[in-house]
A and B are shown apart, each in its own frame.
Chain A
Amino acid sequence: MAATPAEYIRHHLQNLTFGQHADGSWGLAHSAQEAKEMGFMAIHVDTMCWSIGTGILFLWVFRKIAKSFSIDKPGHLQSVIEIIFEFVNNSVKTSFHGRNPLIAPLALTVFCWIFMMNLMDLVPVDFIPSLFGLMGVHYMKMVPSTDVNATFGLSLSVFALFLYYSIKVKGPLGFFAEIAFHPFGKKLFFVNIPLESVSLLARPLSHSLRLFGNMFAGELIFILIAALYSAGLAWGAVAGVLQIGWAIFHILVITLQAYIFMMLTIVYLSMAHSSSQH
């Protein structure tokens, strides 16, 4: 399929892009060069499908359990979901200092959805892309959180909620006062504003890039180990052992990153609701 390991790796790092070609026709990109030529206004179809698909799956499973909720005879799935629910509920109770009924469902959605998106990384590298290759679709990245667009979509939505609740709870003047008059006094507002705006803008950036960096690096290591399979049977056995080892470690990374994203969502929205006393 791919002639060199570098080509194999680059092939697996390319998203399925739909956009306008250089000659004006609309369609899927057939090479990385074509995808780059499509520019900014092109959609990564694989990211969209997998992220929306996992979101719908999460909603469907949780709704099914909520509808058939039984106190005397809980099934296995209900017990698992109760554990997750209690875990998120405790996290929100300890970290969120305010009154808002949106936060706990938001935290539950963020945690479960990101966990399910990251979980797609544990499927062996070539399985699904080769199935899609048989159907004529040549690029397929299964993990939406390895696409910067997906992680920025999540963190910019959280940032939008942060701005909305900041202005709603503190008022636009209160929000501006918090930026302009902290940490130094009122007279030094020209020092405060750049400092606080940098720290404000660094939040969605770091929020999304943390998730992206972890998932991208993990997926890249899976692809690099998978490139060993083409080097013969002995190296293939070594690669198999390495894949199992890395996948076991990656289970920790997946859960941890979803948890960190959820905790930071709760903490940022708590900061939007309460004014910090300096």
Chain B
Amino acid sequence: MDDDVTIQDGGAGQERVSRRGFLGMAASVTAAATAAVLPEAASAAVVAVATGEGRDVLDVAIIGAGLAGLTAARDLRRAGCESFVVLEARDRVGGRTLNHDLGKGYFSEAGGQWIGPGQTAVADLARELGVGTFPTYYQGKSTILAKGARAAVDTEGGFGTDPKIAHELELLARSVPSGAPWKSPRAAEFDGMSVGDWLAKKNIEPADQVGWSAGLAITGGASPARLSLLHWLSMVNSAECNYDRLEAVKGGAQETRISGGSQILSIKMAEALGDKVRLSSPVLRIEQWQNGPVAIHTAKGVIRARHVIMALSPALCQQIAYDPPLPELRREMQRRWPAFAPGRKTAHVYKKPFWREKGLNGWIFQPGGAVLWAYDNSPEDLSFGVINAFVQISMLPSDKKAAEAQLSRTYAQAFGEEALHPLAYHEQDWRKADPWTLSCVSPMPPGFLTKYGEALHPPIGRLIWSGSETADIWAGYMDGAVRSGHKAALQALRAVATGRA
């Protein structure tokens, strides 16, 4: 029955369109013609009519073709469920993972890209899909640039965070469950202050303050004063209360890269799902979500489904209209969700990673400058040399050519004159690229999780909440996205089974 989807066009009656037609590859056909061409679909319709439900109602609709939504779809199919569709707003899959094509089959990531110890869900997915992994390069000296001064030091694959303070955070994190920090016995206390408030009591030296600000911006998406201590501890808890495992490359969440670029995971899953995945179909409105069948209004027509997996961040859930409105706590949670950490990431492509021959690892820290952190993102076989960077959006020209030139000069100061002439430059300013991301990670401000956290997980009516933000472990990471997809598929399958019983 999934072969046909009914599109309601404005209210001017119903028109049957073949699945391929819906994808723009064939003309629409009448119900009779569909039945003649697709006898299986016709017999499915008879069954559906016999059970009293329209043949156009799917068991599950998944909104979002990122790692979460595609993992959920893959699980549904593995469980024998074929009555589903994946709706994606963009004209591509992968969500917050995106490959820049460097040519010759090589890629550099514009978005999420790493796997670390304990991130077993995404690591297993890569293995199942036959996607290889390889270590992130950190061997050699890191470069620090500050107001014209330059130094090169071996940072040993980490960011040099004060181990004494890191250990204090590790101990506190033990009482903060990663998936539900608001359930910590000390939740009120920890959510009542920012990481900055907590650090301020530790007499951090001025130069250390610069380091903490940069570190929290890269990993947490906000300055220390704006990041809830409870939230930060929940992230440390995700990393099994090991600070390096959260923050570092060596032994940390940035340790391992994905052959073919991280988006390959989503691309491979989507390929296997074929035309179950509908691109360029942003969901505008969701009706009858309490008891179903849910009517999902997209830019390309209406999809009807008994259950919906919302595989997107709460901030993106907020961009959809609901009729009737969602319950107050969920609505307020979505409205206030801290989607204010947009990312801008760049890639300089060179003929080879020439910095390695100089004993440098390609890393740059630039306190007071545009580069938060630059790092070596060369392909495994070194067919190119690639320097990726997280940059301060404001401090780099928005003009691509000018941005490339400014960064090239910075890289030349760090690595030598060869850096002035990249073969190519790529960048992604995620807030401006399209309206379907909004934010990289979600920098929870103090007070948010204890007030609204309870609304994050529980399904409401026929809506099952997924997406990395809902993960029990590694929320906000690729691993969390995969975990949330598995969980949502189980919830949906159970709901489908209960409905049939």
Indicate, yes or no, whether A interacts with B: no
Interface residues of B (CB under 8 A from A): none
